[in-house]
């Protein structure tokens, strides 16, 4: 019984081992290399696959996805004998699993060494400045060489990138100083250009301001001159009208010798006004006016000889002449007429000219109108 159970257990284990050797599952984007008695038999696709147990063997499982490999920095000598450290990144993909398995033992290491040698060959023909500024050229050169060399390995290089190019520390310091000097130079140049532009704009603004000020002054002077001219014209017209009015009033009033002499005497105190007046200049007309004030013999030029008032009022007799007729009624009438004539004479304006002789007629006479003399 125990032997039967042992045989059954061995049978079960054998069945499990046979199934494990027969059924193989390959993941997606991978390929399995099958060997039969140590020789390549075939490539298993993704999914469930059946193998001959104990005859076929799954040797390798190749990843068909694009892979990224970063290599450590490698020292490279440039054309101007400077050592720089360059680290690269390779993007590649296995296109032929059989060639990648049997054509090269370790394609990762092979790609790394090929990258180093190719990089030294390309960078060795460049100086430091060109190496730092020609990344695209180095990438394209590396990719072309690697793609051509790895084609027979069943590998396709899709892209090559330079992660960093590190020059020596002394070169870094020199480059930093050079960069700092260049930036300071550009800053000075930009500052000078800004100051020049500011000076130009300031000068243009000053010029425009002076032009506008000059135009404003010219227009203001023109307007002021026009205003002065109009004011002078209006003032002259007003003075002319005032002179005409005064002249007309003087001629209408017909002043006589006594009035003008009195006006001359009133102007005498104004001549002596002021503390600096030590010498008086008295016009010759004043002496004639004073002579005319006391006597009517002398005459002043420009004054009419006949300067009597236009209207003379007959004052009537000083004493009323009674008629020869008798009777209380007639006497009373005569007295009343004389009193009325005296009142009318007292209300009339007085004049310096001698009064007219009384009329013979006892009745009061009306004021006689005389024609004005020129």
Report pLDDT for 194: 94
Report pLDDT for 282: 62
331 versus 278: which is more confidently predicted? 278
Dist. CA 340–CA 332, nearest whole Å? 13
pLDDT (tens digit per residue) in 202-229 = 999 999 999 999 988 988 888 888 889 8
Q: How confident is the model at residue 147 (pLDDT cuts 50, 70, 90)?
A: confident
315 versus 72: which is more confidently predicted? 72
* Domains contained in the chain, CATH given: 1-62 (no CATH), 65-167 (3.30.479.30)
Q: What is the 3-state secondary structure (H, E, C) of 48-60?
A: EEECCCCCEEEEE
Cα→Cα distances 232→219, 235, 242, 247, Å: 20, 5, 15, 22
Name the residue among 340, 339, 367 with its Cα closest to residue 351. Answer: 367
What string of DSSP letters covers 194-263? Answer: HHHHHHHHHHHHHHHHHHHHHHHHHHHHHHHHHHHHHHHHHHHHHHHHHHHHHHHHHHHH---HHHHHHH
Dist. CA 298–CA 292, nearest whole Å? 6
Report pLDDT for 276: 59
Residues 12-26, buried b or exposed e (16+ Cβ, 10 A)? Answer: eeeeeeeeebeebeb
Report pLDDT for 340: 72
Read off the DSSP letter of residue 38.
T
Q: What percent of the chain has pLDDT over 70?
A: 69
Rounded mean pLDDT, 121-133: 87
Q: ∠ CA(276), CA(271), CA(260), 5° rounding?
A: 175
Mean pLDDT (the chain) is 76
How many Å from the N-terminal Cα to the C-terminal Cα in the chain?
A: 188
Paired with 157 in beta bridges are 92
Q: How confident is the model at residue 325 (pLDDT cuts 50, 70, 90)?
A: very low
What string of DSSP letters covers 305-363? Answer: S----SEE-----SS----S---HHHHHHHHHHHHHHHHHHHHSPP-SSPPPPPPSSSS
């Amino acid at each position: 019984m125990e032997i039967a159970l042992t045989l059954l257990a061995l049978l079960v284990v054998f069945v499990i081992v046979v199934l494990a050797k027969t059924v193989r599952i390959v993941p997606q984007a991978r390929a399995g290399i099958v060997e039969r008695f140590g020789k390549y038999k075939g490539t298993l696709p993704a999914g469930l696959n059946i193998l001959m147990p104990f005859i076929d063997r799954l040797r390798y499982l190749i990843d068909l996805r694009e892979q990224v490999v970063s290599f450590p920095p490698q020292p490279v000598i440039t054309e101007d004998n400077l050592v720089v450290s360059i680290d690269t990144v390779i993007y590649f993909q296995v296109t032929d699993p059989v060639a990648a398995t049997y054509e090269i033992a370790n394609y990762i290491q092979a790609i790394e060494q090929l990258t180093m040698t190719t990089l030294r060959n390309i960078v060795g023909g460049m100086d430091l400045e060109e190496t730092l500024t020609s990344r695209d050229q180095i990438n394209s050169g590396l990719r072309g060489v690697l793609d051509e060399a790895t084609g027979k390995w069943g590998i396709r290089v899709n892209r090559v990138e330079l992660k960093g190019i590190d020059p020596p520390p002394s070169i870094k310091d020199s480059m930093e100083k050079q960069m700092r000097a260049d930036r300071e130079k550009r800053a000075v140049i930009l500052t000078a250009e800004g100051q020049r532009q500011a000076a130009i704009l300031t000068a243009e603004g000053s010029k425009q301001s002076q032009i506008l000020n000059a135009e404003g002054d010219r227009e203001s002077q023109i307007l002021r001159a026009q205003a002065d001219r109009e004011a002078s014209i209006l003032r002259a017209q007003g003075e002319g009208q005032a002179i005409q009015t005064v002249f007309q009033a003087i001629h209408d009033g017909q002043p006589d010798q006594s009035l003008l002499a009195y006006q001359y005497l009133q102007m005498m105190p104004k001549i002596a006004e002021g503390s600096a007046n030590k010498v008086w200049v008295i016009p010759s007309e004043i002496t004639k006016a004073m002579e005319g004030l006391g006597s009517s013999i002398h005459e002043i030029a420009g004054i009419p000889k006949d300067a009597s008032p236009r209207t003379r009022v007959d004052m009537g007799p000083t004493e009323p002449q009674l008629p020869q007729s008798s009777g209380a009624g007639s006497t009373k009438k005569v007295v009343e007429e004389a009193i009325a004539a005296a009142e009318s004479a007292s209300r009339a304006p007085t004049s310096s000219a001698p009064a007219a002789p009384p009329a013979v007629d006892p009745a009061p006479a009306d004021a006689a109108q005389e024609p004005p003399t020129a």
